[in-house]
Chains A and B, each alone.
Chain A
Amino acid sequence: MVAVRYETTFKLYPYEKVAAQDLPPARHPVVIAGGGPVGLALALDLGQKGTPVLVLDDHDGAGQGSRAICFAKRTLDVANRLGASGPMVEKGVVWNVGKVFHGDGKLFDFNLSPEDGHRNPAFINLQQPYFERYLVDAIRVAQADGVPIELRGRNQVSGLTVHDTYSTLDVDTPDGIYQIEADYLIACDGARSPLRDMMGLSFDGRVFEDNFLIADVKMKADFPTERWFWFEPPFEGAGQSALLHKQPDDIWRIDFQLGWDIDREKELDPERIRTRVDAMLSSQSGSIPDYELEWTSIYTFQCRRMKTFRHGPVLFAGDSAHQVSPFGARGANSGVQDADNLGWKLDLVLKGIAPETLLDSYATEREHGADENILNSSRATDFMTPKTEVSRTFRDAVLTLASKHPFARPLVNSGRLSVPCSYDGFALFGEDALNGPPISRPSAPCVDASYQDGFLLDHLGGQFTILAFGGPAPASVSAEGVGTKIVHVTEPNEQMRARYLGDAPQAIYLIRPDQHVVARWPNYDADAIKTAIKTAIGKGA
């Protein structure tokens, strides 16, 4: 009988017994273990492409606590493509002003005033349970339209046999165990991935010896919508750093970096937490606002990834495959990029259009993404918690200079926000015959721009697309069973000129289904596009 390990915030997929539980094992093209942000995004993507997908989750909804709270533009762009971003952006909090403090003093402010021509902000703050709920809402809408997605709550994978070309799963439920088979099994089952353990796979990396106390507080009074970050906060027992961040529903996330040798029980005592929170909240105004403690937790973190994300018919995505420190919001955001990368590849392989080796490119591309995230979050962590005397000297010198001289401010590292990954030099990308702006080079994700009454990315969708700026209307090209959608921007605006054309009067872009640029040319050439499509689906020479 499947155990309940935690309380849920929202019951999103309550357990219902299905006929399959009393029948011989049924074979599914794709089974996703784990109904978190990554598993749900992947399910929605696959289902919308017409590939049947079954999601198993050992609980019946989103777990408690805010957990991932910062969703980056790229994630929102993916969610927009999946038809789920509307309520996220509506509910989420957008902030632009940040303040960096060192001890008693403020070092500097910054204002991330948004650039024009993007549907989505650089990021929103939103509690993870809402993100999951809105994905499930979109899945329910899709299901009503006949999209082949099935969610089974309180279905826990309790046994796994991996064969050469499929897997057999034991699934535990409140009505006992049944078996299913999966052509492809996607492990989106989190940092402690039971599937990874069942397969005896290692998960090595660097452990950072630190404990972070999270307190979500519900504020009754007004408080500014800003991000406040302290190096060496002046409040008693606050540790090395502290962070204050706004979430929806009048909730504020507060993080205290407590150090390694702590008494967890004692630190979780609400009275002790309140003492710290009081000191922080009153530090700028002198008075303590009325608040309630909503959720508290202590965590440690590691920066690590699996050696490879693909093991035959089993693929790992999200936290099960890689973990980073929380600075920079690179956990859930990179997991959604995993789903975005894997969805179209799995779909083409299962439809017999692409060779199954295309799935190896999921692993190599996203392993690169994970390495980039691990590097960035390790650097932030090393800056925030200097490991040697000389690194502390330099860190403190940077902070001191940053209050006086702008040059030192880019060196201050309290986390670099997740930006989308590009795959420079990877095998699936073609030529840059345009030599246009670097931001839209082959392998980069398409950058948004205003277009007609909306935005450019809205027009791209989730299939291979020929995107033409200026010039004559291109004809659709099809190669190896892959067709292309045409988006022809007859009169490129200033944003498109800056982001896609540079000095060129016109351009042709081939975009893959996850909206990364495959190749680009100054002129339409059907043969060149055919070659690029073959390369992009792993059938290149």
Chain B
Amino acid sequence: MPLNLDPNITNPDEFYDELIRAHEGLTKDQSDAYNARLILVLCNEIGDRDVLRAALEAAK
């Protein structure tokens, strides 16, 4: 399965709002740590190592 780089999120504005709200009240360090945990949770959801490798590349 190739990495999907086309739009795939329903109601993107609502999603973005929820993402930013998830950080409300956190310090910079707490936000960074939260982001790291979030990335790991999402990576586990993806699972496929080829896709993960492609994502690591796409985000550079």
Contacts and interface: CB of A to CB of B under 8 A. Distances in A.
Interface string A393-434: 010001001001111011101001000000000000000000
Contact of B5 (A398, A407, A411): A407
Contacts, number: 48
B59 A407 contact: no
Given A379-B13, A383-B16, A411-B16, A390 B28 contact: yes
Contact of B7 (A382, A398, A406, A416): A406
A379 B28 contact: no
A394 B19 contact: yes
B44 to A, nearest CB: 20
Nearest to B58: A405
B19 A407 contact: no
Interface string B6-17: 111100110111
A287 interface: no
A401 B13 contact: no
B39 interface: no
Which of B4, B7, B9, B26 is most buried by chain A, counting CB atoms within 10 A of its CB?
Answer: B7
B23 A390 contact: yes
A381 to B, nearest CB: 12
Interface in B4-57: 4-9, 12-13, 15-17, 19-20, 23, 26, 28, 31, 35
A391 interface: yes
Contacts of B9: 407, 410-411
B16 A407 contact: no
A409 B7 contact: yes
Given A389-B28, A391-B23, A401-B59, A413 B13 contact: yes
Most buried by A among B7, B16, B59: B16
Contacts of A379: 13, 16-17
Given A390-B28, A390-B31, A407 B17 contact: no
**Chain B: interface residue count, which band?**
20 to 34
Contacts of B4: 407
Chain A interface residue number, banded: 20 to 34
B39 to A, nearest CB: 12
Contacts of B7: 406-407, 409-410
Contacts of A382: 17, 20
Contacts of A398: 16
A376 B13 CA distance: 8
B33 to A, nearest CB: 11
A388 interface: yes
Contacts of A413: 13, 16
Nearest to B22: A390
A406 B13 CA distance: 15
Nearest to A391: B20
Contacts of B31: 389-390
A367 B60 CA distance: 44
B17 A411 contact: no
Nearest to B14: A379
Given A391-B23, A394-B16, 19 more contacts: A379-B16, A388-B20, A388-B23, A389-B28, A390-B23, A390-B26, A394-B20, A401-B59, A405-B5, A407-B5, A407-B7, A407-B9, A410-B9, A411-B9, A411-B15, A411-B16, A413-B13, A413-B16, A416-B13
10 shortest interchain CB distances as A-B pairs = A390-B31, A410-B12, A405-B5, A390-B23, A410-B7, A391-B20, A411-B12, A407-B5, A379-B13, A407-B7
Interface of A: 376, 379, 382-383, 388-391, 394, 398, 401, 404-407, 409-411, 413, 416
